[in-house]
Homo-oligomer: A and B are copies of this chain.
Amino acid sequence: MVFLSMQSYPGVMTVTRPYHHGDLPRVLLQAAVTAIEEAGPAALSLRDLARRTGVSHAAPTHHFGDKAGLLTALAVEGFDLLAATLTAAGDDLLDVGVAYVDFAVRHRAHFEVMFRPDLYRADAPEVRAAQERAGAALHTGVATLPPDRAEPGEARTDALAAWSIVHGFATLWLSGALPADVEADPRIAARTVIRRLFPPP
């Protein structure tokens, strides 16, 4: 990590900055993740991010335009991260579903922003593209199901049902709405629930 000089301070010629020049966007996004994990996306404050990262209050605005711009970048990052996670989980639909829930729990801040389109510009082309990449990764898992049922549109229903059940479980888990007697490890509980939808032969 290199420390670079920073501009004027009263009485001090040079100060240091704990990140490479030009990396402020990434640093701000990381600070946003931390802040959201602490108090939720609704309580996020650009000025608080600036304080956390030691820059002026207007620095975040320069890079992201406005608050919605920052959350848009966070959503894009989240969808890409989700796509990578699902792809890495392999071909087994159970594993993909568990990976979805695991992503939501481990990247809670990203996940909460991603599915709250009133907070960011969900119609931005980079968002749409990232969403499609994540959707394709999810559909890949569904495609591995044995196509023994002949009804048309069955694969689409399977995909929608799989997405719904893992997304629902993840959001219920994150919102703390689940009763206390549910398995403490969300991955184990999720696997049990998903297996109820796609029972082994």
Which residues of A does B touch, CB under 8 Å?
39-43, 115-119, 122, 131, 135, 156-158, 160-161, 163-172, 175-179, 181-182, 189, 192-193, 196-197
Contacts and interface: CB of A to CB of B under 8 A. Distances in A.
A187 to B, nearest CB: 14
Contacts of A175: 115-117
Given A115-B177, A117-B175, A122-B176, A196 B158 contact: yes
Nearest to A154: B196
A189 B153 CA distance: 12
Interface centre among A39, A40, A119, A175 (most CB of B within 10 A): A175
A115 B42 contact: no
Identical chains in the assembly: 2
A33 to B, nearest CB: 15
Closest 4 CB pairs of A and B: A168-B168, A40-B118, A164-B168, A167-B168
Q: Is the interface of A mostly helix, strand, loop or mixed?
A: helix
A156 to B, nearest CB: 8
Nearest to A134: B177
B169 A160 contact: yes
Interface centre among A117, A167, A176 (most CB of B within 10 A): A167
Contacts of A119: 40, 42
B168 A43 contact: no
B161 A197 contact: yes
Given A42-B41, A176-B117, A161 B165 contact: yes
A49 B169 CA distance: 34
Nearest to A38: B118
Contacts of A196: 157-158, 161, 197
A169 to B, nearest CB: 4
A46 to B, nearest CB: 14
Contacts of A118: 39-43
